[in-house]
Structure 1
Amino acid sequence: MQQVISVWVRDPRIQKNDFWHAYIDYEICLHTNSVFFTKKTSRVRRRYSEFVWLRQKLQANSLLMIQLPQLPPKNPFFSLNNGQQVADRMKGLQKFLEQILQSNLVLSDSCLHLFLQSQLSVSKIEACVAGKTSFSVAQAVQSSGLRRFHSEEDLQRDLSVSCDSDSDSSDCRVPRHKNKVSPLNKSKSAATLDLRGACQEELLSCSSGSA
C-alpha cells in the first residue's frame, strides 16, 4: 500500500494572551496511513514562533545531514488584520510541513511527532524528548484528545483586535465592541465538525495536501 501523509495548515485565529497582547495560531490537520505515525489523524494549533522552534530543533537533531526548507520570512510590517499576509504565511507554513514530511530522517524525530500530534508546549516537548516528564512521547501523542474543529463557543469568541506585528504577536488595543467574530474566523456553518468529517472534506477539496 502506498504511504500517504496529508497535512493542512488552516483556520488562522487571533488569540489573546491578555488585554493588550494577541497573536495568530493555525490549525494543523494531519491524515496518514504511514507506518511512521501510530496516530493516523490528528489536529493541533500552533503559532508561527513554534514553527521557528521546530525548524531549529529538526535542523540541530539531523546533525546537518539534510538542509531543511525555509519558513516564510518574518515581516516587520506583518499585521494580524491583513488577510493576504496571513494567507501567504499560512500557505508558506503548509509548504514547509509538506516538504519536511518527505524526509524519513525528519519523520523519525520525536519533536516533529509531538509538534504535530500533541497539545504540549515547546518547553514540554523538549522535556518529554529528554525523558524529564512522567509520560513518554507515545503516551503524549495518544492522550491528545480529538477535539472538534469548531464550536459555538469558538464562534462567539471576540477576536476583533487591531494591531501590527514583527512575527505573530504584538501589543494590541482591544476595540470596545464585544462578541464580534474576526473576519479570519467566519464559519460557513455554526454546526460543529469532527476530525474525521473535516479531514474527509479536506481530502476532497485539497488535492495538493499530500506530502
Structure 2
Amino acid sequence: MNIRIMTEGGDHKANQQIISVWVRDPRIRKNDFWHAYMDYEICLHTNSVCFTKKISSVRRRYSEFVWLRQKLQENSLLMVKLPELPPKNPFFSLNNAKQISERMQGLQKFLEKILQSPLLLSDSCLHLFLQSQLSVSKMEACAAGRTHYSVTQAVQRCGLRRFHSEEDLQKDLNLSCDFDSDSSESRDAEPRIKDLALTKSESAPLFDFVGTSQEETLSSSFGST
C-alpha cells in the first residue's frame, strides 16, 4: 500500500511524498531443537524526508511488533490512538497457512496506519524497528542515547539482504556484530549466511504479496518526484 503525504506549497506532484510498506516472506526460525518462531520481512520504499534510508528490508517477529506498539504508546503520551495488532492466538500454528496469512495482513495494516501519523513518524523507535536489525534491548538503548552509535548510523549500516558474493555477506555480518551482540536475541551467524546466500529461485517464500510489476511501479513513482 502507498501512503501519500502532502507537503505545503509548490507543485502538487513535486511535493507529494510516498511511503510504501509491506509485510511478506514468513520464515520459521529455530531457537533450539524444541523451540521455534516465525519472523517476517518488512520492506519499505519511500521518498519521504522523514526517512534517512529510502529503501530498506528487515525481518521482525510478532513479539517485536508488540514491543513497538508499547513504546509508541508510551512515547506519544496517549496523544495518538494507536491501531491494534492482530490478536495473539494461543493456538497459532507455524504450519497453518491461513493463520500466517491473516497475521501478516494484520501486521501490515498496523504499520500502514502507524505511518500515517506525523507524530509517530518522528519516533526513533519506529525508525529503528523498520530500518535496522537491532534487537529490542539494543533499539531501546540506541533510542535513549546509550549506545556509541546514533539512530541514523544504525539505520545506515543495515543492509538490504541483497548481495553478490560471499565476501559481501561476511562483511555485512561483521558490521552487524557491533550492533546486535546480545546472546539471548542475536541471530545465529551460520543460518543468516545461508538465508542471505539464497537466490530468489532457490528461496521460495510461503507468501509473496509484492510482484515485479509493483516494485517497478514503486521505483518509477519515486524517480518521478
Q: Normalising to structure 2: TM-score of the pair?
A: 0.69
- Look up the SS of the partner of 2:17 in the other structure: coil
1:175 equivalent in structure 2: none
Matches within 5 A, 1:56-205: 56-148=70-162, 189-190=201-202, 201-203=213-215
1:98 to 1:76, Cα distance in 2 relative to 1, 3 A: same
Give 2:215's aligned amino acid: L
Q: After TM superposition, give the deviation of residue 199 of structure 1 in Å.
A: 8.3
Q: What value does the CA root-mean-square deviation take over the aligned residues?
A: 2.4
Shift of 1:148: 2.3
Q: Which residue of 1 aligns with 2:174?
A: none
Q: Which amino acid aligns with 1:89?
A: R
Contact 1:25 1:46 in 2 (8 A): yes
User: Cα 1:12–1:205, aligned 2, differ >3 Å: closer, same or farther?
Assistant: farther
Q: Name the amino acid aligned to 1:27.
A: E
Contact 2:42 2:58 in 1 (8 A): yes
| 1:79 maps to amino acid | S
User: What secondary structure does 1:18 align onto?
Assistant: coil
Aligned pair in 2 of structure 1 residues 54, 205: CA closer, same or farther (>3 Å)? same
Aligned to 1:8: 22
In the alignment of these two chains, the number of paired residues is 165
TM value normalised by structure 1: 0.73
Aligned residues with identical type, % of pairs? 75
State the alpha-carbon separation in 1 of the partners of residues 17 and 201 from structure 2. 33
Displacement of 1:113: 0.2
Give a deviation string over 1:69-119, Cα, whole Å, max 9, x none. Answer: 000001111111000000000000000000100000000000000000001
Q: Secondary structure at the match of 1:78?
A: coil
Q: Work out whether residues 41 and 60 of structure 2, in 8 Å CA contact, stay in contact via their aligned partners in 1.
A: yes
Instruction: Please state how far the C-alpha of 1:204 moved relative to its aligned partner.
Output: 5.4
Structure 1 unmatched runs, 5+? 152-186, 193-197, 207-211
- Cα deviation, residue 39, structure 1: 0.4
DSSP-derived class of the 1:29 partner: strand
Structure 2: gaps (5+ residues):
1-13, 166-198, 205-209, 219-225
1:17 aligns with 2:43: no
SS in 2 for 1:51: helix
Classify the secondary structure of the residue corresponding to 1:67. coil
Q: CA deviation at 1:147?
A: 1.4
Structure 1 CA distance, aligned partners of 2:212 and 2:106? Answer: 23
Q: Which residue of 1 aligns with 2:48?
A: 34
SS at match of 2:39: strand
Helix, strand or coil: the match of 1:7? strand
CA distance in 1, matches of 2:111, 2:201: 28
In structure 2, what residue type is equivalent to 1:28? I
- Does the CA contact (< 8 Å) of 2:58 and 2:160 recur in 1? no
Q: Which amino acid aligns with 1:26?
A: Y
**In structure 2, what residue type is equivalent to 1:189?**
S
Distance of aligned partners of 1:110 and 1:88 in 2 relative to their CA distance in 1, 3 Å threshold: same
For residues 212 and 72 of structure 2, the distance between their equivalents in structure 1, rounded to whole angstroms, comes to 29
